[in-house]
Structure 1
Amino acid sequence: MNHEGFLEVITGPMFAGKTTELIKRVERQIFAKRKAALFKPSIDTRYSEDHVVAHNGLRYEAYIVPTTEEGVKKIVDLTKEEGYEVIGIDEVQFFHPSIVEALNELADEGVYVIASGLNLDFKGEPFDVTRELLVRADNVVYLTAVCTVCGRPATRSQRLIDGKPAPKDSPVILVGGRESYEARCRLHHEVI
């Protein structure tokens, strides 16, 4: 590879356009004739089993990998075996913590790594994987959504059950879309 590696992290709440931004950045690299691939966690089957798909319907073919250490190893192995110069990882917060070091090492080895993930869980607590990647990133793209209550910039993901805020003791991981989540600002984000 004839370029320096780079680790870029796209973060923010649900409905901020993270996946759209990820696809856009990878496509630009492909237009520049760089060999690139997208990866997504196998637990995210909301819109497609073999594509990264944004809430707005934008889609791009992707490798589907388990969120385990073995899945992280598969990302590294495929990147090296196929000679990818650029890789994009969607929903990075779902992966095993070993992904942090793996992506950092790929960047050290000359790969342009773009990771997209949620900033906070539904309780307003940081996702460990995203937080660890943010402090190692060469560039951070922090996106906001629009609060569904007041229209101000939203930085949080509100989980809803039957239209009401989810209890704090609910499982942290629940893959979903508009049926389960809304974007909220700090003022209107509720944890019960």
Structure 2
Amino acid sequence: MFIEPSINGAQRGWIEVICGSMFSGKTEELIRRLRRAKIANLRIEIYKPAIDNRYHQTDVVSHDANSISSTIIENSQTILLYASHVDVVGIDEAQFFDPEIVSVCEKLAARGIRVIVAGLDMDYKGRPFGPMPALLAIADYITKLHAICVRCGNIASYSYRKTAQGGQVLLGETDVYEPRCRKCYYEEV
């Protein structure tokens, strides 16, 4: 957990980005940080994009079934309306949000809010995904998590898609994706 000191009693905001491949524990880490903030009696709000309904319609749920109640968002600007009286904002699956999520995070941090964002840094083709590169550029803290390659057991940074169907966005789990290291990923693409 990252704690930034206040200056002259004023709360200072900042942006934390948690990134990595699928199955690396991004959502689990987001939930952990938010729960710790709640234990510290901080007011928290969690948001997720409407497109992500894999595990639950409204809750943010990790692959290992940890969950936390959240608010579904269609448009990132809506977060600014909802997050008026909070200390910490959590945002899951940031790669699915519109490009305005970057300015939303900056505005929240300028208000003195701690912003914790989790998302895939690369899509299944190994390319930067959605607004994540811009979020990484403005982040005060970055945590890159790794999964374990299902082929060789090394650290995995890539989300290999096992099917040819779909565009850049295809929601799925282990039926559609598997984590792979660089070597095993590029052996089949």
TM over 0.5: yes
Name the structure 2 match of 1:100.
Answer: 102
- What is the TM-score when the length of structure 1 is the normalising length? 0.90
- Give secondary structure in 2 for the equivalent of 1:121: coil
Q: Summarize the alignment of residues 61-140 of structure 1 with structure 2, pairs less than 5 Å apart.
A: 61-66=69-74, 71-80=75-84, 83-140=85-142
- Give secondary structure in 2 for the equivalent of 1:24: helix
Task: Please give the alpha-carbon distance, in whole angstroms, between the structure 2 residues aligned to 1:177 and 1:30.
Answer: 29
Task: Please give the alpha-carbon distance, in whole angstroms, between the structure 2 residues aligned to 1:88 and 1:102.
Answer: 12
Task: Please give the alpha-carbon distance, in whole angstroms, between the structure 2 residues aligned to 1:120 and 1:7.
Answer: 19
- Give secondary structure in 2 for the equivalent of 1:187: helix
- Give secondary structure in 2 for the equivalent of 1:72: coil
Task: Please give the alpha-carbon distance, in whole angstroms, between the structure 2 residues aligned to 1:105 and 1:38.
Answer: 16
Task: Please give the alpha-carbon distance, in whole angstroms, between the structure 2 residues aligned to 1:154 and 1:186.
Answer: 7
What is the aligned length? 180
Is the 8 Å Cα contact of residues 124 and 159 (structure 2) preserved in structure 1?
yes
**Runs of 4 or more consecutive aligned structure 1 residues displaced over 4 Å after TM superposition:** none
Task: Please give the alpha-carbon distance, in whole angstroms, between the structure 2 residues aligned to 1:183 and 1:127.
Answer: 16
1:42 to 46, 50, 55: 50
- Structure 1 residues 99-146: Cα deviation after superposition (integer angstroms, max 9, x where no partner): 111111111110100000001000000114111000100000000000
Name the structure 1 match of 2:171.
Answer: 175
- Give secondary structure in 2 for the equivalent of 1:188: helix
Name the structure 2 match of 1:189.
Answer: 185
- Give secondary structure in 2 for the equivalent of 1:19: helix
- Give secondary structure in 1 for the equivalent of 2:77: helix
- What is the TM-score when the length of structure 2 is the normalising length? 0.92
Q: Which letter maps to 2:27? A: T
Task: Please give the alpha-carbon distance, in whole angstroms, between the structure 2 residues aligned to 1:179 and 1:143.
Answer: 21
Task: Please give the alpha-carbon distance, in whole angstroms, between the structure 2 residues aligned to 1:14 and 1:173.
Answer: 13
Task: Please give the alpha-carbon distance, in whole angstroms, between the structure 1 residues aligned to 2:115 and 2:27.
Answer: 14
Return the offset for 1:2.
Answer: 4.2
Task: Please give the alpha-carbon distance, in whole angstroms, between the structure 1 residues aligned to 2:160 and 2:106.
Answer: 30
Task: Please give the alpha-carbon distance, in whole angstroms, between the structure 2 residues aligned to 1:65 and 1:98.
Answer: 13
Return the offset for 1:149.
Answer: 0.3
Gaps of 5+ in 2: 1-8
RMSD of aligned alpha carbons:
1.3
Q: Sequence identity of aligned pairs in percent?
A: 39
Q: Which letter maps to 1:171? A: G
- Give secondary structure in 2 for the equivalent of 1:105: helix
